[in-house]
Each structure stands twice: as C-alpha cells, then as structure tokens.
Copies of this chain bind each other. A is one copy, B any other.
Amino acid sequence: MSAALSELEKEVIDIFVRIAGVLSLPRSVGELYGLLYISPKPLCIDDCMRKLKISKGSTSQGLKILRSFGAVNTVYVPGDRKDFFEAEAQLRKIVAGFVNEQVRPHLDNGKARMAHIDQLIAAEEGEHREFYASRMERLKGWQKRAGSLLPFALNFIKPE
C-alpha cells in the first residue's frame, strides 16, 4: 500500500512534473498531481508523503495550491478522520481555475501599467516621442491579441 512508486507511477508523475515546470509551479506540486491522477482511489496526506518521499509541509502546501485552482478535490471517506484527495480529471475546470487564479491578475496589472506608460509618452517632449508612441501601439496590439486568444483557447477545450 505504501510501497515505492511503480514504474508506471514514476512515468506519469514525471509528465506532470514537467508541466508544473512550464507553469512555474514547484516540483512537488507536479508530483502530487501526477500521483493522484494515476491513483485508482483517493489518497490521504500520509499516503502522498510516503509514496513521494516528501515532507508533510510540502505535501500540505502542495495540495493547498492544487485545490486553489481546482486541480484536486477532497473526498469524504466514511469512518476515517483523515482528509482524502483525488485529482480533478476535467481539464476544462483546471484550466479555468488556473487562469482565474494565476493568470488574470497579471493581465489586469499589465493593462494598468500600459495606461501609465501612455501618460508618460503624452508628457514626452523629445524627438523620439513618435517612435515611443508607435512602439506602444504595437505593444497594445500584442496585448489585445493575447487577450482575445485566451477566451478562445478556453472555449476550444470543450466541456469534456
């Protein structure tokens, strides 16, 4: 039950560790999700710790992060005091949660920042003002496209 990781588990976990890297999430978060993703039944914190050989702190913290964007759900197991966890398998939910929690704040911040830059350029006196303005226009174009790509991508990932 609390044996070492099987070859299969190791490989699956490895995939999610890489994905975590891309998303700038700690390695342990990827490990936890991978373990739960391939687990036929919900696991408790202690199971995770033992199988992944990571500390209780990392486990608790990692599961907290995963819950924060809905990648992991808690499961009630009758007759057990412990919390049990299982991986959310609906990609759409996870992506939506991740975007809302970790991406949107940045995008919003970016917009405010752009507005400030516009002001700076308006106040600019030097010979390069036109150039600056054109660069900013271009930057706004980028932002706009990225922004409109996002909802599209979300829609692309159809409700499973």
On whether A145 and B156 interact (CB within 8 A), knowing A11-B120, A24-B24, the answer reads yes
Residues on B with beta carbons closer than 8 Å to the beta carbon of A138: 89
Which residues, 72 to 122 on A, are CB-close (under 8 Å) to B?
89, 91, 106, 110, 113-114, 116-117, 120-121
A5 within 8 A of B: no
On whether A12 and B117 interact (CB within 8 A), knowing A145-B156, A156-B145, the answer reads yes
Number of interface residues of A (CB under 8 A): 39
The secondary-structure label for the interface of chain A is: helix
Q: Which single member of B110, B128, B145, B149 contacts A18 (CB below 8 Å)? A: B110
Contact A128 B21 (CB under 8 A): no
Contact B145 A113 (CB under 8 A): no
Would you mind naming 11 contact pairs between A and B with Cβ atoms under 8 Å apart?
A: A8-B132, A11-B113, A15-B110, A15-B113, A18-B106, A22-B106, A24-B24, A37-B135, A89-B135, A91-B142, A141-B160
Residues of A within 8 A of B (CB): 7-8, 11-12, 14-15, 18, 21-22, 24, 37-38, 40, 89, 91, 106, 110, 113-114, 116-117, 120-121, 124, 128, 131-132, 135, 138-139, 141-142, 145, 149, 152-153, 156-157, 160
- Which 8 pairs from chain A and chain B are nearest by CB? A40-B128, A40-B131, A8-B120, A11-B117, A91-B142, A7-B120, A149-B156, A38-B135
Q: A8-B121, A37-B139, A141-B160 are in contact. List 5 more A-B contacts (CB 8 A).
A: A8-B117, A11-B116, A15-B114, A24-B24, A145-B156
